[in-house]
Amino acid sequence: MQLSHFLKVYPWEEDPDLLLLFSTRQISKILIPKEVYLAAKNGGVSPLNTSLLSELGMLVPDPQAEKQAAISWLEALNATNSELTVTVVLNLDCNFACTYCYEGDMKGRLYMSAQTAARLVDFIKQRFGPGKNALNIDFYGGEPLLSIGTIKSISRELKAFAESRDASYSFSLVTNGALLKRKVTQELADLGLTNVKITLDGPPEVHDRYRPFKSGKGSFDVIIKNIKETWDLAKIGIGGNFDRHTYAEFPRLLGYLEKEGLTPDKIPAVKFDPITNSPEGDLSPTDYRDGCMSINEPWLVEAGTQLREEILKHGYNTLKPKPLFCLIENRDAFVVNYDGVIYKCPAFIGQNGYAVGDLKSGVNDYSQTYQLDIWKTEECRECVYLPLCYGGCRYMTFLRNGQIDQLDCKKDYFDATLETYIKQDIQYRS
Ligand code: SF4
Ligand code: SF4
């Protein structure tokens, strides 16, 4: 047995005789004495430790075969995927005027018509072939709750269809939260609503500056009231978008949520992400330029690790390091715009050349458009972070270069943060 190719080894400050081992492939971790690690490295480890480290994916019979399996993993997932996931952009209208909204100039009174919704249902039924047993829809906008009638009619049809196939139907909402009243949430829960993602961009005065109603009035208090009314009807995850000026304010949001009784037992997930700038000269209605263009920007290391620590310290759940790949790689995931044009990622909506088809004519081959094999380079094949990255986010490359011509390499970011993330999980969740 040999050490896994996907092994990170970190010092353990509290006891210099120990090492922290983390498998980026199996997402396993262990603290072991240095001499056990050295014995494992040199092939002289005891049978008991061999068995333990093998179970954790840290000792493997053949590291070359292990690398090949990591490369083939996406193919294997696609071949056995029993779920169909469709993001439905119901409209490009909104009751908010967020300062950084990337939908920018595309927005207006643009709604999915009844005819397009009927075509969407047909498209989904066709795509839900044998071997599929779970149908997941993400309703998206604009603001999806401005299209409540369309959500209900699509869900009624798809729920009945899934049940006729002994499959499950569920849907989620990515909403600004202002229209999420108890009555409507109850009706939607009866039709399959399971998850809601609501964005709070910091404590009240910061959020209200970044995410006001169109009238200019603050939206924070309305959203908090609605979360209090509905948290028991669907799983409400709180997201928050920060920039270099606001991230230090976010811990106050966590304190506020606690004070208002929105404690971790009521809010199953919290995650804060950096705002990205719009592509140069493109779509943005404002001059907003305080976001990021790459996850490797140095300020994001401090912001990301500090905010994650605060979330965990307050007892909320947040994402753990896990195998991750761009959803464009998922052959059973699509984004359908309000007008029936199909994309692979919501961030590309409206971008010339990135549509992959439409509801009338179906899906075209998009392997070139989205550079599906871009990560199959020597650099990625040899990279210890491959299972956590698979070439990164195509949209971030597009943002920087105006096309998908390079990897969105996150090596620097992982080098700077992964050890801290793992140690945070040991401190707060073990
Ligand atoms: S391009 Fe980026 S935002 Fe779009 S699906 Fe891939 S990882 Fe997500
Ligand atoms: S893009 Fe960079 S971090 Fe990601 S797998 Fe490739 S080399 Fe590793």
pLDDT at residue 345, rounded to an integer: 96
Question: Which 8-state DSSP code applies to residue 262?
Answer: -
Question: Nearest-CA neighbor of 124 among 174, 70, 160?
Answer: 160
Mutating to test ligand 1, I would choose from 74, 328, 375, 409 the residue with most ligand atoms within 8 A of its C-beta, which is: 328
**How far apart are alpha carbons 190 and 182 in whole angstroms?**
12
Residue range 72-129, pLDDT digits in tens: 999 999 999 999 999 999 999 988 888 888 666 667 789 999 999 999 999 999 999 9
Mutating to test ligand 2, I would choose from 324, 374, 411 the residue with most ligand atoms within 8 A of its C-beta, which is: 411
**Is the distance from the beta carbon of residue 407 to the nearest atom of ligand 2 less than 6 Å?**
yes
Question: From ligand 2's centre to the CA of 391, what distance in Å?
Answer: 5
Question: From ligand 2's centre to the CA of 70, what distance in Å?
Answer: 13
- The parts of the chain modelled with pLDDT lower than 70 are 102-106, 280-287, 430
Distances (CA, A) of 189 to 14, 85, 159, 177, 197: 48, 18, 12, 15, 14
**Is the distance from the beta carbon of residue 70 to the nearest atom of ligand 2 less than 6 Å?**
no
Q: Is the peptide bond before 142 cis (omega within 30 degrees of 0)?
A: yes
Residue range 332-373, pLDDT digits in tens: 999 999 999 999 999 999 999 999 999 999 999 999 999 999
Question: Nearest-CA neighbor of 172 among 271, 230, 88, 94?
Answer: 88
**Is the distance from the beta carbon of residue 387 to the nearest atom of ligand 2 less than 6 Å?**
no
Question: From ligand 1's centre to the CA of 337, what distance in Å?
Answer: 16
Question: From ligand 1's centre to the CA of 34, what distance in Å?
Answer: 39
Mutating to test ligand 2, I would choose from 407, 412, 413, 414 the residue with most ligand atoms within 8 A of its C-beta, which is: 407
Provide, for the chain, the percentages of residues in helix, strand and coil under a 3-state DSSP scheme, each rounded to the nearest 5.
Answer: 40, 20, 40
pLDDT at residue 287, rounded to an integer: 67
CA-proximal residue: ligand 2, atom 6 (nearest): 380
**How far apart are alpha carbons 382 and 379 in whole angstroms?**
5
pLDDT at residue 105, rounded to an integer: 64
Question: Which 8-state DSSP code applies to residue 16?
Answer: T
Q: Is 176 exposed, middle or buried (0-12, 13-18, 19+ CB in 10 A)?
A: buried
Q: Could you tell me if 161 and 195 are in contact, meaning their C-beta atoms sit under 8 angstroms apart? A: no
Question: From ligand 1's centre to the CA of 116, what distance in Å?
Answer: 25
